[in-house]
Amino acid sequence: MLVCANCGQENPEGFKFCGRCGASLEASGFAQPAEERKVVSVLFCDLVGFTARSERADPEDVRAILRTYHDRLRKEIERLGGTVEKFIGDAVMAVFGAPTAHEDDAERAVRAGLRILEAIQELNDEGPGPGLSVRIGVNTGEAVVTLGARAERGEGMVAGDVVNTAARIQAAAPQDALVVGAATERVTRDHIDYEGLEPVALKGKAEPVRLFRAIGARGRYGVDVEQRTRSPFIGRALELETLLRTFARSVDEAGLQLVTITGEPGVGKSRLLWELKNRMDEDSAVTVYWRQGRCLPYGEGITFWALGEIVKGLAGVLESDDPDQAAEKLDTSLRAFVEDHAEHGWLRAKLQPLLGVGSGSGDAAAHVAPSDREEAYAAWLRFLESAAARHPLVLVFEDLHWADPAFVGFVDHLVDWSTGVAITVIATARPELYERHPGWGGGKRNSATIALSPLTNEETARLLVALLEQAVLPAELQSTLLERAGGNPLYAEEFVRMLLDQGALRMHGRAMKLVDRAEEIQLPDSIQALISARLDTLKPDRKSLLQDSAVVGKVFWSGAVAFMSGQDDRAVREGLHELARKELVRPMRTSSVKDQDEYAFWHALVRDVAYAQIPRADRARRHRLAAAWIERMAGDRVVDQAELLAHHYEQALELATATGAVDAEERDELRGSLVRFLELAGDKASQLDLGTAWNLYRRALEHADRGDLRRAEILAKGMELASMVGALPFDDVEAGFREAIDLFRGSADPMRTALALRRFASMLRVRGRTQQARAALDEAIELLERELPGPAMAEVYAAAAGHEMLASSEITFLPMAEKALALGRQFDVPAVVMRGLQLRGIGRAALGDRGGLEDLAEGVRLGVERGLAAETGPAFVNWADWTGIYGDLTESLRIYREGMDFSTAHGAMRQVTWAKAETTWRLFDLGRWDEVIEVADEIARWEEQHGGPAQPGTISSIERMHVLAHRGRHEAAAGMEEVLLPRAREIGDPQVLWQALPVASLAHLGRGDPQGAR
């Protein structure tokens, strides 16, 4: 016998896969992990009042009753693939989904509970004395599973809240009833009938818990099972036509045709069959026998279950028929199909085991020795051909990947030997079929394969709209659902159902709104169970490779997986190739890493489930290994991988800290690496997207040690961006700057102190505190002029020249701008070169030299080419301002808009408000006064939400006052003037005062106050 390392089941010699859990039985030197996280269903059953009865009974009688009770419960539980973890007196605890998950573990647990209720009734009917009564509870949830635990030795298998809650649900159940929790009901409601119970307060739960009483199981494996939910038929028209043509060919040629439909779970195999049957019912000019059977993944006596379902269907046998009725119906069908009465006895003897009647009831394979198998195959073929001689026969074998070799052997026999009648054989299977049965369908002239690919995004979007009854989805939600569903129709349907069940989707008119954030959409339990079951059929070493890959990310490389697993590179490449054949991962045509095979997950949810199964401490270890490989691979270009490295170190730190898997020294090391790479990632992002850069700096600050100079550096850069994107109130930004400057001053580092002061001055100017900004710049210049010239001096000179340009009515800033430009070119600082060109252009334009516009345009071009996100937005504004001053108002507005688009794309939202504010000047001159008011209101709202009043809001409000004055609303204009003129004087920017004073004067004149106008 072969003992499965995964579940402990004994298997006959020659088996390649465990007959119980489906895991490979091939030997492997791989060290299986000790634990995994899994979604399991836990069943508790307890006898009611048995303790009191035991006190009055003889101990031997008590033991006999319990032994019979325990044996019967174990049989019912194990028959459905569960594991009895322990008996505690008259109580039993069983687990479904551990050590191996199945896609229907919750349903199995409930069906087992229902069978236990029936078994207790049968025991009561069989024995004398008072009857037994039980309470049963089932709960589904995540648990930590100890792999390799032996329940028969008393070793605990699962741990987690799901176990405690299951026990409390059982205690709350009515007598002789099976009660389940909400998670169990949610994933089994299509197959089990329930009635809702009043919510119950359970120990350890903050809110009352919804419970459901199981009434009975619905038929699942029948030939004509009613399909209760049908998603729209989308994206499979070509495949449907292929099946219809194949059937037509079978009828025209009076021969057998075989079609195998393959695809991952949920991709639409059963949906395609249902549509085919409907079309044949509607279009076929002849009567068709359509019979289908499903290959079961578990249970006793299931080798030829699928064939038995088909024979029952042809004979009209119902599951409710007793053996005599089934035998009679079989005889009737033999008389109808087989003209040669001499064959009836032979056929009856070979067919009865498939129906569970006669001396060979049960699993037909158990009663057919290999030497006699050909005779059984011949009899079954004869019966099917006889039925097909009356009407064309369509035989559907679902889930052929679960089939036993003996059953596949019969289907091969059927395909090879059937002649002269129209039989269309359709087999559906997952990609694992070709691993379990490598020769399936090969070389047969009458065989075809349809491999179902995922739906396109457009097709999936149509499906989502149909599932939501034509409601319109927000773009963000649709994008999230498309990504999560990944073209899998079942996944799309389950996501929608989950969101509707949870009340997370609400109708607003014709549009559907998401109550919570789209990125927080959880994985439905049904999909997690489906994928977990697939992963648990993998060999342990292959599964571990998949989990290592999941830690690396949606895209990964063979070298990373080899490094993390400690396995030979060649063995890893072979393992990944095997996972690709199973359609769990897919190879990329080209790799972004030299000499490495690059892969991506076939479906993002496969990655999510594989990752979720790893215990947290082990996840932390694997994230550290992934980071180490990426650092080594990146070499001198590590900045390009900084954000990915930050992700791995952040996960490693959080997981290791939560589980206590690191000491203080290791934790500090992880935190240091995390801060380093978050800062590097922020530096890189600051040239592309200021909002992203700020978020990276913010995360770095959360982990940086107070008092550390690295924290000061990140504070200085981060506060500048926080001000630009409006992420923090100004007071918080100022406090951050002052902390950084104090740290730098204390370290006696003049260069970094000066650069922090330069950034601080920029923020102060935005707030209109020009005198403080000037003082900060003066201190920075004083510090740097004691040092050798360098990039820092170039930056500070450019900032000081810009401040002087805004603060003075004279063209006194040009000499300092020229110095900044020269230093920027000398030390190759593109941002300073661009700023120098801008300042020189403004100076030239102010002196009447139109060549200044060329400097301004050149500065913008340089900023766009170099991706200088922070500096290019203001450059657009300067160019637009002076273009308008020189009379081209329309071109000026175009440049403003181009600049706003650039700043928006790079996350510089405060710069967008600057540009909007200055457009009000041009809009006023063009007579578009309503737009002036709209823009002013928009800026006021934005500043209210992002730190409070600032200079852009003052500029646009002054222009709003200008509109009111010209429209004769002098009182309203004067009221604004009382607030805005003091604000403009406080700012001290000449261009703001030049704008404010004439408008205020106009408002006073309109009120008849010439003295105030002066």
- CATH T-level fold of 38-217: Alpha-Beta Plaits (3.30.70)
Q: Which two tokens stand for residue 987?
A: 């700012």
The helix (run of H) or strand (run of E) holding residue 502 is none
DSSP state of 357: -
Half-sphere exposure of 13 (CA within 13 A, CB side): 0
Residue where the block lists tokens 């001290």: 988
C-alpha separations of 513 from 457, 467, 504, 521, 736 in Å: 20, 15, 8, 13, 38
Domain range 524-613, its CATH number among 3.90.1860.10, 3.30.1330.10, 3.40.1280.10, 1.10.10.10 = 1.10.10.10
According to DSSP H, which parts of 520-603 are helical?
Answer: 525-535, 540-552, 558-565, 569-581
- Going through 21-104 in order, the beta strands assigned E by DSSP cover 35-47, 83-88, 91-96
With CA atoms as reference, report the closest residue to 205 among 135, 141, 284. 141
Amino acid making up residue 933: I
pLDDT of residue 708: 87
Coil vs helix vs strand at 445: coil
What pLDDT score does 475 carry? 77
What is the CATH code for 237-451?
A: 3.40.50.300
Cβ atoms of 638 and 666 within 8 Å: the answer is: no
Residue 472 burial (CB < 10 Å; 0-12/13-18/19+)? middle
* Contact between residue 157 and residue 85 where contact means Cβ atoms under 8 Å apart: yes
> Please, are residues 223 and 291 in contact by the beta-carbon 8 Å criterion?
yes
How many angstroms from the chain centroid is the CA of residue 416?
45
Which pLDDT score is estimated for 18? 66
Angle 527-34-537 from CA coordinates, rounded to 5°: 40
For 602-670, what is the HEC assignment? CCHHHHHHHHHCCCHHHHHHHHHHHHHHHHHHHHHHHHHHHHHHHHHHHHHHHHHHHHCCCCHHHHHHH
β 423-429/177-181 pair status: unpaired
**Nearest alpha carbon to residue 694 among 500, 873, 486, 909:** 909
Cα–Cα distance measured from residue 788 to residue 524, given in angstroms and rounded to the nearest whole number: 63
What span, in angstroms and rounded, lies between the C-alpha atoms of 728 and 750? Answer: 27
Distance CA 888, CA 278 (A): 69
Helices (H), 191-268: 237-253
Write out the two tokens for 684: 């890189």
Whether residue 99 has a cis bond before it, omega within 30° of 0: yes
Q: Check residue 497 and give its pLDDT.
A: 80
One-letter amino acid at 500 equals L
Structure tokens at 508: 């607003």
* Nearest-angstrom CA–CA distance, 667 and 675: 12
Within 13 A of 771's CA, how many CA atoms are on the CB side?
Answer: 3
**pLDDT mean for each 10 residues of the chain (1014 residues):** 51 61 52 78 90 68 81 90 85 90 92 93 76 91 85 77 94 94 92 92 88 84 44 88 94 94 90 90 82 81 87 87 89 91 89 77 51 85 94 94 90 92 95 86 82 90 81 75 86 82 66 56 81 88 94 93 91 93 88 87 89 92 94 88 93 92 90 94 87 92 90 92 85 91 88 90 81 89 87 88 75 85 91 91 90 94 88 91 92 93 87 89 89 90 82 82 79 67 68 67 66 59
Q: How far apart are CA 627 and CA 564, in angstroms?
A: 10
Contacts of 29 (CB under 8 A, 6+ apart): none
Q: What number of helices (H) and strands (E) belong to the chain? A: 41, 20
Could you give the CA distance from residue 499 to residue 503 in angstroms, rounded to a whole number?
Answer: 6
Q: Would you say 837 and 862 are in contact if contact means Cβ atoms under 8 Å apart?
A: yes
Q: How far is CA 145 from the centre of its chain?
A: 23
Query: Residue 756: which residues within 8 A CB-CB, separation 6 or more?
Result: 712, 716, 737, 740, 741, 744
Q: What is the pLDDT of residue 362?
A: 47
pLDDT at 462 (0 to 100): 87
- CA torsion 863-868-871-876 (nearest 10°) is 40
Which residues, including other chains, have CB under 8 Å from residue 44's CB and lie 6 or more apart? 91, 92, 93, 136, 137, 138, 166, 167, 169, 170
Residue 694: burial class (beta carbons within 10 Å; 0-12, 13-18, 19+)? buried
Q: Which of 499, 505, 543, 544 is nearest to 524 (CA)?
A: 499
Where along the chain do its domains lie? 1-30, 38-217, 237-451, 457-522, 524-613
DSSP string over 761-789 = HHHHHHTT-HHHHHHHHHHHHHHHTTS--
Contact between 141 and 160 (Cβ < 8 Å): yes
- State the Cα–Cα distance between residues 602 and 264, nearest whole angstrom: 10
Tell how far CA 39 is from the center of its chain.
Answer: 17
Which residues touch 763 (CB under 8 Å, ≥6 apart)? 719, 720, 723, 730, 733, 734, 737
Return the amino acid letter for 233.
F
What is the Cα–Cα distance from 36 to 614, expressed in whole angstroms? Answer: 5
- List the structure tokens of 822: 């020269």
Q: What is the CA radius of gyration of the chain?
A: 38
